[in-house]
Amino acid sequence: MLSYLAQRFLTLIIVMIVVTMIIFGLMHAVPGGPFSQTQQPLPAFAMRNIEVKYGLNQPIWLQYLKWVWAALHGDFGIPFEEPTETVTQLISKAWPVTLAVGAWTIVISYVGGIALGLISAIRQNTWIDWVLTSFATTGIALPNYVVGFLLIVVFAVTLGWLPTGGWGQPQDLILPVIAFALNPMALCARYTRASALEVTHADYVQMGRARGLSEWRINLNYVLRTALIPLITILGPNIPNLLTGSIFIEATFALPGLGSYFTTAILRRDYPMIMCLVLIVAVLWGTCYILSDVAYTLVDPRIRLAGASR
Amino acid sequence: MDVVDRENTRRFATDFSRRAFLAGTGAAGLSLLAACGASGGGTQSGAGTKNALGLKLPDGAAVASQQMYITPNDSTGATYKALDFYETVYSRAPLADQFNVPLVRITPNFNIVPGAATSWKQSTDGLTWTFSIRPGIMWTDGRELTAADYVETLRYSADPKHAWDFTWYWTGVIKNYAEAVLGSMPTSSIGVKQGANKYSLEITTESPIAYMPNACLYTQPLSAAALSKYGSGSYNINPSTCVSCGPYVLKQFEPTSQIVLGPNTKYTAPFKPPIEWQVGRIYAGGDMLPRFETGQIDEVNVTPLDLKIAQRSSKLKSLHLYKNPNDFEIWYTFFDVTKEPWNNEKVRQAFAHSVDRNAIISSLLNPLAIPAYGYLMPGYPFAVTDPLVPYTNYDVSKAKQLLSDAGYPGGKGFPAVTFYWREVAAANSEAVVQALAANWNKVLGVNVQLQELDTTTFYNRMNAKPTQIPMGFVSYGMDYFDASNMLSVYKGGGRHNWDNSQYDSLLAQGASESNTAERQKIYTEAQVLLTQQAPAVFVFHLLYGYFYWPYIKGAALNKDKDGYDGIEWPGFGPGTTSMTELYVGDNVSKYTRQKVNGVV
Amino acid sequence: MSTAAILEPGRPVRRQRSSFWWLAWARYRRNKLALVSGIIAIAILVIALLAPLLARYGYAQQNLGEVLAGPSLAHPLGTDELGRDMLSRMIYGARTTMTVALLVPTIGTLIGLPIGVLAGWFGGIIDFITLRLVEVFTMVPPLLLALLLIALYGSGLWHVILFLGISGWIGYARIARAQYLALRDREFVVAARALAVPNWRIMFEHILPNAAGPMIVFFIQQIPATIFAEAGYSFLGLGVQDPLADWGKMITDGEQYLQVSPLVALLPMIGIALATLSYSFFGDGLRDALDPSMSR
C-alpha cells in the first residue's frame, strides 16, 4: 500500500507539471490579456510599456520557466486583479472563509444526505421514499442562487432572524451553508438510495438475514459498506468542489471568499492567479482521487488496486 | 467552483425587503442616545458645532460623529490597484483621488471653478497655460503643495517604466508627452514646468488647446516627496504611508471588503466638507438594493428593474428618484465600415432609420434613458439634437427605400449578419439588443443574429486592428467635459474604423478654436456629419438613477440647470464642489444604519 | 440474472436473456410511479418534437407594448421582459433544453463508460492511463477551454453540446471504473469466469446490470446540471444565444424578475424540476426493473 501511495503521489507531481504547462499555454492562447479591457484601444506604444513592465512581451516558454522558478521558491506573483497583495496573501485571506462554509456544508450535506438516502432505500417505494426522492430531485433541479434568494427573502427580510449577508459573525454562516448544502445533500441522498438498493437484495445480505442478524446491523454492516463505493466515487470529488467555494453563494451572501476567483481570474485573464488556483485544484483533486482509491480498499477489502492486471 | 459565473456580468438574486425598519425601537434609542450625548445638549443636532476638519456644521446636520457617508461598490470585473489617478486610471479602488487638491474643480452645472489654482491664463500664442497655485496648502508630511508636485506627477505619468494606462489623455496635448511615453525623450522634457515661482505652473501644449482648464480636472497630484521616496503612487494604499493634502486620509484599505477614509485634521485648503468619514463598502456582486434597504449603505444606484421592485416595498416606494447623466454615456451599434455590407452608407442609414428608440426605451429602460440621435447627450457641451433627427429618425418607409437603393429590396440578398454584444445590467443590454435585432429583422426583412461575448473578449476583438467585430453594441462615457473628448472617439485611427478626413479636420479646428459660437458651429457640423454618414446607429443615452436615504442632505443633491439631481459626475471628492455641500441630517436617528467595522 | 444463472446452472442462457427483458418490463409496469413518470418524460419529448405545431407564437415574437404581463387569454402564462409569450417559449424551450440535457450525458456515457469499464476490469496500464487522463481533465478549468473554443470555432448549440459532452466523460468513467473494481472479484463473476464465459460477456452482461444503479442516478443528475452549465456558458458566447428559448437560460435571464413577474423564472424552474423528477422516478423504476433480485 505504501509503495502504491508513493507511486501515485509521484505520478501526481508529473501530472501537475504537465497540467501547468497546458494551462500556461492555454491561458495565453485565449484571446485578450489582463490589460485589454479598456474602452479605448490603448495606443500601441502604451500597450508595449505595460507588457514590458509585466514581462508579458517575453516568449511564453521563458515566462513559464520564470513562473516555475518563482513558484518553487514560494513566490506565486502578484495578481492583476487585486494587485495590492501577493497571490499567496490574497488566497490565505479568502480561502478560510470558503473553507469554513465548505466544511460545514460537507458535514451537513453528507450526514443528512446519507441518512435520507438510507431511509429512502429501506422504505423503498413507499410514500416516504417518494417524498424524499421528490425533495432530493428538487434540490438538484434548483440552482443554489435561487435557493439563496429564497432563504434571504424568508429568513433575512421577512422574518428578520438572520443577516442578508456579510462575514464576521457565526450567524453569517447559516444561510450560505443551507443554500450551498441543499444540492450536495440531495445528490448524496440519491446515490445512497441507489447503491443501497443494489445490495439490500444481494445474496450475502439475504444470507445475513437468514442467519438472524438484526435488521439495523445488516443495514449498517452490509448495506452501507457496499453502498459507500459509488458515494466515494461521486461524492469524494465533490469535497474539493465544496472546499473551493461557489461564486453564486459568495455573491448572493456577500462572502469575501475564494470561490469567485476561479471564474473572475479567468475572465480577467489574471495569469498569476489562474496558475495558483490551478495548483490548488490540482493538489486537492489529485489527492482526492488517490484517497478515494485507497478508500475503496478500506471499505471493501476484496478490491485490489495495484498490479491488478489480468 | 462553479463552472461558469453568471454573476460577473449580471445582477443576481434581487431581493425584496419587507423588513420593517425598527421605527419603534428607534424612538426608544433616541431617548437613550440623547441621555448619553451630553455635549449634544439633549438633541441629535450638530448644527453650529465644528467637525474634525474644523468646519461649522450646517443647520439640520447631525452631530460630527454621525457625519459618515457609506457608499456601495461592486468589485466584479474591477481591479483595485491604487487610490490615485496618476498611478492607474482603470484599476483605481473606490474612494480614489481624495488625498489631493486638483488645479480646478467642477460644479454640478459643469462649470470649472478654482481648486488648488486660484486663476489661470492662456499665453497670447495660445500654446502655454499658466496656473497660479494657492499658497499654504499643506501635505500631511508637513510640506507645502507647490508646482513641483504637479510637475513630478505628470512626468511620472509619462514614464515608460511606469506604463500608465491613460497616457492617451495627454498625448498630443502636452508638448513632447508622446515622445516621453515612447521613451525617445526624457520625461523631464515634457511641457510641464514650474513658472516664475513655486506657486506658478506652466503647461505647454502641442497646439493651442481651448479646453485646457476642463482637461485639468485630471490634475490630482501625488506628493513629489513621497513619489521620489517610494518610487510609485502606491504609498497611498497604506494608511501608515499615505500622504494627503486633501480633506481625507486613508484609515483602512481592504480591497475585498471596505475602504475607509477619515478626516485629515491637518487639512488647510479652503474646501472643507461636513462629511468626516467616507466608507466604501465593497461587494463582489450580489444585489445592492436589499443592502440599501437594510441600512448597510447610504445610497444605491438603481436600474429600471430596481424601480419596479422598489414600488412594492413600503420603505422604498416613497423615496425620491435622483436622476442625472453621470458621464453622458452614448449606447450605440457600430459597424465595421470597411466590410460588406456595412461599407455601403445606404445600408447603414437604412439600419439607422429603422430603430424605434421610443418603444425600446419606454418598455426596457424607462425612466433611465433618453433617445439618442447623435454621439453627444443633451446637456453635454456643444451637443445638438434637432439638426440630427432627420438623419436617423424612425421612418420605416425611408428605411426600406434606403435598403432597396442599396441593392437589397425587402432584405433580399442581404447576408445574415452577426450582432455582437456583452452584458451590462445597468443598460439592460440583453433585452435592448434583442429588441434592436427584432426591430431590424421585422422592418428591413434582414437576418440579424445575436452573439454574446465576455467583456475581455469583446473589447479585445473590438480594439483589434483591424477590428474583429463587424457589428457590435457598445457605449462610451466622457473622460472630460468637452465635445472634443466624446467626438474624438470617431476620429480616424481611433476606436472605430470610420475614417473621414472632413470630420477629423472639423475636430482639429474645434479643439483649437476659442470662440464659443464658432466652436458650436464646428461641432454641430461634425455631429451632423457623423449621424448622417451613420458609421453607427445611436440608440440611447443612459441616465443614472439613485436612491439616497433622506438623512443624506445638502445642496449637492439639488437640481442642476438641466433639471438633473443627485451627486453628479465625477462624484464626491476634492475635484467637485459637491464635496463641501453634502451632510448627514439630524433625522438620521430615525433610520437604521448598520455599523461599520473598523471605524473609530 | 447472474444469481439465477449460478443457482440454476442447467438452464439455457439464451432463454434466460430473452425472459430477462420481459421480466424487467413486467417489473417496471408494476411500479405505478415509474409508469406515470415515464409517460411524463415521454410527453416532454413529444412537446419538444412538436413545438412548432403546439406553440401559438414564435419564441422570438416580441411585443414591447406588453412586457412582463401576467396571465391572460392571449398569453395563458404571461409574457417575458420583451413581451414574448411564455407558454410558447416554454414549449420551444423544451426542444432546446431536452436536446442538450439528453445528448450531453449520452455523449459522456458513450465515451466514459467503455473507458471506465476497461480500466476497472483490466486494471494495470489501462487503469494507469485512464487515471492520468482523468486527473488532467479535472485540473484544466473548463472555462478556459470554452473561451479558447469560442475563439477558434465560434459559437453554436452543437458546439456546447459537444463541449459539455466530451468534457463530461470523466464522471461516467470514474463510476464505471469504481463499480467494476468492486464487482470483478464477486462470487458471480468468479463463477462466470470458471464457466469460461468470455471477458466481454462478463463485463457487459453479468456486471453491467449490477453496476447500473449509480450510473443511472449519475446520468439523471446530469440532466439539470447540464442545463445549468449550458446556460452558464451561453454568456461567454458558447451555446444557446438569444432569442432562442432554453429553460436554463430563461432562468438565468429571468431570475432577476422574480419579484416583479415571478412566472418568467418560475416556469422554466418547474419545467426542469418536472423533467428531472420524471426521469428520476423513471430511472429508479428502470434500476429496480433491471435488478434481478427484485423479483423475489
Task: Say yes or no to pLDDT of B598 above 90.
Answer: no
Chain C contact present for A239, CB below 8 A: no
Determine the Cα–Cα distance for residues B558 and B108; give it in Å rounded to an integer.
9
pLDDT given for residue B325 in this prediction: 94
Q: Are strands B448-452 and B322-324 parallel, antiparallel or unpaired?
A: unpaired
Handedness of CA C107, C109, C114, C120 (dihedral sign): positive
Q: Tell me: the pLDDT tens digits for A123-144?
A: 887 888 888 888 887 887 788 8
Under an 8 A CB cutoff, do C33 and A137 touch?
Answer: no
For residue C252, the chain B residue with the least C-alpha distance is B6
Task: Say yes or no to pLDDT of B226 above 90.
Answer: yes
In what side-by-side order are the strands of the sheet with B322-324?
B299-302, B544-548, B322-324
Under an 8 A CB cutoff, do B257 and A35 touch?
Answer: no
Contacts with A24 (C-beta within 8 Å, 6 or more apart), sequence order? A60, A63, A64, A67, A275
Determine the Cα–Cα distance for residues A133 and A137; give it in Å rounded to an integer.
6
Task: Say yes or no to pLDDT of B14 above 60.
Answer: no
For residue C136, the chain A residue with the least C-alpha distance is A19
Instruction: Give A281's contacts in chain C (Cβ within 8 Å).
Output: 138-139, 141
Query: Bridge-partner residues for C195, per DSSP?
Result: none
Q: Tell me: the pLDDT tens digits for B160-191?
A: 999 898 898 999 899 999 999 999 999 999 99
Under an 8 A CB cutoff, do B13 and C255 touch?
Answer: yes
Tell me the shortest Cα–Cα distance from C103 to chain B, in angstroms: 19
The answer to whether A289 touches A237, Cβ cutoff 8 Å, is yes
> Which of A195-209, B62-76, B260-274, C160-174 is least confident?
A195-209
| Out of C143, C171, C269, closest to residue A146 by CB | C269
The amino acid present at B412, given as its one-letter code, is K
Task: Say yes or no to pLDDT of B6 above 50.
Answer: no
Residues 244-283 of A with CB under 8 A from C: 262-263, 266-267, 274, 278, 281-282
Residues 63-122 of A with CB under 8 A from C: none
Query: Bridge-partner residues for B475, per DSSP?
Result: B331
For residue C221, give the C-alpha cell: 443528475
| Out of A33, A53, A145, closest to residue B13 by CB | A145
Task: Give the number of other CB atoms < 10 A from CB of residue C7.
Answer: 10
Chain C contact present for A4, CB below 8 A: no
DSSP-assigned letters across all residues of B155-181: HHHH-TTT--TTGGGTTTTBTTHHHHH
Residue with the bigger pLDDT between B116 and B314: it is B116
In what side-by-side order are the strands of the sheet with B258-263?
B68-74, B277-283, B258-263, B248-254
Q: Tell me: the pLDDT tens digits for B473-487?
A: 999 998 888 898 899
Q: According to DSSP H, which parts of B223-338 are helical?
A: 224-230, 288-293, 304-311
| Out of C124, C174, C221, closest to residue A190 by CB | C221
Task: Say yes or no to pLDDT of C6 above 50.
Answer: no
Instruction: Give B453's contacts in chain C (Cβ within 8 Å).
Output: 150, 236-237
Residue with the bigger pLDDT between A53 and C53: it is C53
How far is residue C17 from each of residues A80, B429, C24, C182, C207, measured CA to CA in Å? Answer: 63, 59, 11, 24, 14
**Maximum Cα–Cα distance across chain B:** 83
Determine the Cα–Cα distance for residues C201 and C207; give it in Å rounded to an integer.
9
Residue with the bigger pLDDT between B338 and B17: it is B338
Which of A162, A175, A264 best probes binding to B when mutated, by most B CB atoms within 10 angstroms?
A264
For residue A269, give the C-alpha cell: 485573464
Average pLDDT over residues B566-577: 91
pLDDT given for residue C186 in this prediction: 76
For residue C78, give the C-alpha cell: 404571461
Under an 8 A CB cutoff, do A247 and B285 touch?
Answer: yes
Task: Give the number of other CB atoms < 10 A from CB of residue C161.
Answer: 21
Average pLDDT over residues B504-523: 92
Q: Kind and range of the H or E element at C274? A: helix C263-290
Give residue A310's pLDDT band: very low, low, confident or very high (50, 70, 90): very low
pLDDT given for residue B210 in this prediction: 84
Compute the half-sphere exposure of residue B305: CA atoms within 13 Å on the CB side of its CA: 28
Under an 8 A CB cutoff, do B363 and C147 touch?
Answer: no
Give residue A201's pLDDT band: very low, low, confident or very high (50, 70, 90): low
How far is residue B540 from each of residues A34, B328, B421, measured CA to CA in Å? Answer: 30, 10, 15
Determine the Cα–Cα distance for residues B307 and C260; give it in Å rounded to an integer.
10
Chain A contact present for B461, CB below 8 A: yes
Tell me the shortest Cα–Cα distance from A91 to chain C, in angstroms: 18
Task: Say yes or no to pLDDT of B347 above 50.
Answer: yes
Q: What is the distance, to the nearest Å, from the Cα of residue A166 to the centroid of all Cα atoms in its chain?
A: 22
Secondary structure of residue B274 in the 3-state scheme: coil
Chain C contact present for B517, CB below 8 A: no
Give residue C7's pLDDT band: very low, low, confident or very high (50, 70, 90): very low
pLDDT given for residue A57 in this prediction: 84
Average pLDDT over residues B229-250: 94
pLDDT given for residue C295 in this prediction: 42
pLDDT given for residue C5 in this prediction: 38
Task: Say yes or no to pLDDT of B344 above 60.
Answer: yes
Tell me the shortest Cα–Cα distance from A205 to chain B, in angstroms: 39
Using alpha carbons, select from A168, A183, A151, A165 the residue that is nearest to residue A97: A168
Residue with the bigger pLDDT between C166 and A302: it is C166
Q: What is the DSSP letter of B58?
A: P
Under an 8 A CB cutoff, do A153 and B257 touch?
Answer: no
Residue with the bigger pLDDT between B418 and B211: it is B418
Q: What share of chain A is helix, strand, coil (3-state, %, to 5)?
A: 75, 0, 25
Chain A contact present for B422, CB below 8 A: no
Q: Tell me: the pLDDT tens digits for A255-286?
A: 888 888 888 888 888 888 889 898 888 888 88
pLDDT given for residue A107 in this prediction: 92
Task: Say yes or no to pLDDT of B201 above 90.
Answer: yes
Chain A contact present for B551, CB below 8 A: no
Q: For the CA atoms of chain B, what is the radius of gyration?
A: 25
> Which of B29-43, B252-266, C84-98 is least confident?
B29-43
Average pLDDT over residues A155-179: 81
SS (H, E, C) B75-106: CCCCCCCECCCCCCCCCECCCCCCCCCCCEEE
Chain A contact present for B445, CB below 8 A: no
For residue C6, the chain A residue with the least C-alpha distance is A203
> Which of A237-241, A278-282, B473-477, C93-97 is least confident?
A237-241
> In the complex, which subunits touch A with 3 or more CB pairs below 8 angstroms?
B, C
Determine the Cα–Cα distance for residues C42 and C48; give it in Å rounded to an integer.
10
For residue B297, give the C-alpha cell: 449603505
Give residue C168's pLDDT band: very low, low, confident or very high (50, 70, 90): confident
Under an 8 A CB cutoff, do B79 and A82 touch?
Answer: yes
pLDDT given for residue C221 in this prediction: 82
For residue A265, the chain B residue with the least C-alpha distance is B77
pLDDT given for residue A165 in this prediction: 77
Q: What is the DSSP letter of B576?
A: B
pLDDT given for residue B493 in this prediction: 82
Secondary structure of residue A62 in the 3-state scheme: helix
Q: Tell me: the pLDDT tens digits for B515-561?
A: 999 999 999 999 999 999 999 999 999 999 999 999 999 999 999 99
Choose the most confident range, by mean pLDDT, from B76-90, B413-427, C224-238. Answer: B413-427
Chain B contact present for C63, CB below 8 A: no
Q: Crossing angle for the helix pair A87-122 and A174-200, nearest 10 degrees?
A: 40
Handedness of CA B440, B442, B445, B447 (dihedral sign): positive
The answer to whether C234 touches B452, Cβ cutoff 8 Å, is yes
Which of C100, C153, C235, C240 best probes binding to B when mutated, by most B CB atoms within 10 angstroms?
C235
Question: Percent of chain A having pLDDT more than 90?
Answer: 6
Determine the Cα–Cα distance for residues A217 and B280; give it in Å rounded to an integer.
59
Give residue C1's pLDDT band: very low, low, confident or very high (50, 70, 90): very low
Which of A175, A267, A288 best probes binding to B when mutated, by most B CB atoms within 10 angstroms?
A267
Instruction: Give B2's contacts in chain C (Cβ within 8 Å).
Output: 232
Tell me the shortest Cα–Cα distance from A283 to chain C, in angstroms: 9
Q: What angle do CA A13, A18, A23 make, to 5 degrees?
A: 120
pLDDT given for residue B494 in this prediction: 83
Determine the Cα–Cα distance for residues C186 and B188; give it in Å rounded to an integer.
83
The answer to whether C267 touches C251, Cβ cutoff 8 Å, is no
For residue A196, the chain C residue with the least C-alpha distance is C213
Give residue A206's pLDDT band: very low, low, confident or very high (50, 70, 90): low
Contacts with A94 (C-beta within 8 Å, 6 or more apart), sequence order? A256, A257, A258, A261, B256
Determine the Cα–Cα distance for residues A129 and A132; give it in Å rounded to an integer.
5
Helices (H) and strands (E) in chain B, counts: 15, 21
Chain A contact present for B232, CB below 8 A: no
Give residue B37's pLDDT band: very low, low, confident or very high (50, 70, 90): very low
pLDDT given for residue A224 in this prediction: 67
Under an 8 A CB cutoff, do B434 and C233 touch?
Answer: no
Chain B contact present for C155, CB below 8 A: yes
Give residue C14's pLDDT band: very low, low, confident or very high (50, 70, 90): very low
Using alpha carbons, select from C20, A172, C122 the residue that is nearest to residue B257: A172
Residue with the bigger pLDDT between B426 and B598: it is B426
Determine the Cα–Cα distance for residues C185 and C23; give it in Å rounded to an integer.
27
pLDDT given for residue B31 in this prediction: 30
The answer to whether B208 touches B125, Cβ cutoff 8 Å, is yes
Q: Tell me: the pLDDT tens digits for B102-155?
A: 999 999 888 999 999 999 999 999 999 999 999 999 999 999 999 999 999 999
Residue with the bigger pLDDT between A110 and A237: it is A110
